[in-house]
Each structure stands twice: as structure tokens, then as C-alpha cells.
Amino acid sequence: MKLITCMAAALAMVATAAASPALAKTRHHHHRQLYLNSAPVSARDAALRDCNAAVAPYNNRDFQGTQIIRYNGCMFEHGQIP
């Protein structure tokens, strides 16, 4: 019985891992233009806006480490804590 349960769990995990990328939707940021055109209220708002725009080309799935390092560096350059 344990063997069947383990095999079923392993099969479910493999099926989930294989299906997840296929079912993922492309993200469209329709609100990005409105967000980038709004006037910054403070230095932190400006830093957040600039740094988010700077790391936008790096998606989280493929470039997570690069995205985090660039974002933290950008916030540091703006004198902000990430």
C-alpha cells in the first residue's frame, strides 16, 4: 500500500511540474503606462518607480537573482532601503 501511495504522489508531482509552465499565461501590464506617467510624490516614490522600470526586462522566473541584485543596487543608488 505504501508503494502505491508513493508512486501516486510522485506521479502527481511530475504531472504538476510538467503542466505548470504550459498553463502559465503571459503577463500583460496594461497599467504600466499609467503608472510610469504619474508624478512622483516623494524621493522614495521616485526611486521605486525608477528601480521597478530598471528591472522590468528581467522576469522573475528566469532572472530572479539578477532582478533582485539590480533592484537592490538601484535603490541603494537612490539612497533608499530596498
Distance CA 32, CA 49 (A): 10
In a domain, 23, yes or no: yes
In a domain, 44, yes or no: yes
pLDDT higher for 30 or 3?
3
**How many independent structural domains does the chain possess?**
1
Full domain range(s) for residue 10? 2-77
Distance CA 38, CA 67 (A): 23
Q: Model confidence over 13-59: pLDDT tens digits?
A: 666 655 555 555 555 555 555 555 555 578 999 999 999 999 999 98
Distance CA 76, CA 62 (A): 23
In a domain, 22, yes or no: yes
Q: Which of 24-28, 60-64, 65-69, 71-75 has the lowest mean pLDDT?
A: 24-28
pLDDT higher for 32 or 64?
64
